[in-house]
Chain A
Amino acid sequence: MQSRARAIAALLEQLTNQPVIICNGFPSREAYKIADRPTHFYMIGSMGMAAAIGLGVALNKPGKKVVVLDGDGNVLMGMGTLATVGALKPKNFVHVVLDNEVYGSTGNQPTISDVVRLEQVAKAAGYAHVERVIEREDIVYEFKEMLKKDGPSMLLIKVTEQAEDAGRVMIEPPDMTERFKKAIE
């Protein structure tokens, strides 16, 4: 198993100008440190809403594959959105869950994703493809497939609890909205 930052780096290497919504907490900080792009939207609050934001983009930009980088705590908090995605079936929606089984930003308290298989919840909700992976080569292979295939898809990646020494995202929230809006026009 590898760190979340290594998994994020492997994912971002496969992307060019696709819209990417990144959930609040360490995932946003790490992605910002690894590779900042104007097509990245970093959340700082509204936990649980990453997939819903991504869905709003995906429904209105059907020609672009929209990627959501989510966490297990976030998915559990906004689990209803798995049902909304499964029902609406946007073909251009790729939902990546970086699953470390803890709330990392608040002191590694356990979530319940060690028991609840989130990719199976997504499958039951109607996602077209779901995969659960651990190794880097599997991450890259499955992610590339999901970028090609019609979705909605979920790639659940088991990662360690390790967090990078990554500072806050240094973009003012209103500037980020404008930057992202323009970048995905």
Chain B
Amino acid sequence: MIDSDVFVQALQDVGFDFFTGVPDSILGGIIETLMERRLYTPAVREDEAVAMAAGAYMAGRVPAVLMQNSGLGTSLNAIISLNVIYRQPCLLLISWRGFQGKDAPEHLVMGANMTQTLDAVRIPHRTISEQALADDLRWTAQAFMKERVPVALLLKKGIVKGLHP
């Protein structure tokens, strides 16, 4: 498992310097580290978070938004009618609840359809693997710069250490 300190440092090393979002248990360790480093601005909804990221980008930052995949549904209109059409890139770090049907009922439909949802609105995405984190982040930074749209990294349970290992 990747230590959350190592993960956050890797994000900072590729340039991310403004972090906002709404928590999920899978993201708990990462958010704790971001808060320790005073890098995290909490949002109350995921659409608010992607809009804050749009503002931060225009103010010269390299933003990242953390959310559970339920929040992808909440934020989809903001993503496609703001960040995508205005070419305001950000990293969407999305926890994959409902992966392979092993989760609470409310997560199963989005868990089974998240990558199709991202494909349908042409958001480039990758699923983070422990072995290839450096490569995943290189790909993210390249897509961010080249496409200038939100780029999603999907995080399954057990890849980055949570609050309660």
Task: Convert A69-109 into 0s and 1s, putting 1 for each residue whose CB lies closer than 8 angstroms to a CB of B.
Answer: 00000000010110110001000000000000000000000
* Distance of B23 from chain A, by nearest CB (Å): 14
**For chain A residues 148-185, which have a beta carbon within 8 Å of chain B?**
173-174, 176-177, 180-181, 184-185
In the complex, are the beta carbons of B55 and A45 less than 8 A apart?
A: no
Residue pair B44, A180 in contact (C-beta under 8 Å): no
Are B82 and A49 within 8 A (Cβ)? yes
Which among B45, B49, B51 has the greatest number of chain A C-beta atoms within 10 A?
B51
Given contacts A45-B81, A60-B60, A173-B86, contact A54 B48 (CB under 8 A): no
| A80→B85 CA distance, assembly (Å) | 24
Residue of A nearest to B55 (CB): A56
Per-position 1/0 for B106-119, Cβ under 8 A of A? 00000000000000
A53 and B60: CB pair below 8 A?
no
Known contacts A174-B87, A176-B86, A177-B86: A46-B59 contact under CB 8 Å: no
User: Which residues of chain A are within 8 angstroms of B78 by Cβ–Cβ distance?
Assistant: 46, 49
Chain A nearest Cβ from B46, distance in angstroms:
11
Interface contact A184-B56, CB-CB below 8 Å = no
Alpha-carbon distance between A173 and B87 when the two chains are bound, in angstroms? 8
Name which residue of chain A comes closest to B82, CB basis: A46
Within 8 A of A (CB), among B79-104: 81-82, 85-88
Given contacts A43-B82, A49-B47, A80-B44, contact A177 B87 (CB under 8 A): yes
CB of B12 closer than 8 Å to a CB of A: no
Set of chain A residues within 8 Å of B85, measured between Cβ atoms? 44-45, 173-174
* A48 close to chain B: CB less than 8 A: yes
A136 at the interface (CB under 8 A from B): no
- CB-nearest residue of chain B relative to A24? B81
Residues on A facing B (Cβ under 8 Å): 21, 41, 43-46, 48-49, 52-61, 78, 80-81, 83-84, 88, 173-174, 176-177, 180-181, 184-185
